Amino acid sequence: MLEKTDRMLTALNRWSLIGLLTAMVCIIFANVALRYLTNHSIIWAEEVARYLMVWMTFLGAGLALRRGGHVAITALPDALGPRAAMVLRGVVALLLLGFAALMVKIGVDYMGRMGRQLTPATRISFWWIYLAMPMGFALFAAHLALALVSYLRSGSFEPAERSAAPRGLA
pLDDT digits (tens, 9 = 90+) for 98-108: 999 999 999 99
Q: What sign results for the dihedral spanned by CA atoms 159, 160, 166, 170? A: positive
Distances (CA, A) of 69 to 61, 65, 74, 86, 110: 9, 6, 14, 21, 28
Mean pLDDT of 72-85: 82
Mean pLDDT of 54-65: 94
The answer, yes or no, to whether residue 159 has pLDDT greater than 70, is: no
148 Cβ contact list (under 8 Å, min separation 6): 93
- Give the integer Cα–Cα distance in Å for 87 and 36: 58
Q: Which residue has the higher pLDDT, 152 or 128?
A: 128
pLDDT confidence of residue 158: 64
Mean pLDDT of 101-116: 94
How many residues does the structure list for the chain?
170
Q: Write a three-state SS string for 30-56.
A: HHHHHHHHHCCCCCCHHHHHHHHHHHH
Lowest mean pLDDT among 21-25, 41-45, 65-69, 149-153: 149-153
- Give the integer Cα–Cα distance in Å for 82 and 154: 9
pTM of the model: 0.82
Nearest to 96 by CA among 141, 29, 157, 35: 141
Helix, strand or coil for residue 156? Answer: coil
The answer, yes or no, to whether residue 79 has pLDDT greater than 80, is: yes
pLDDT confidence of residue 42: 94
pLDDT confidence of residue 156: 63
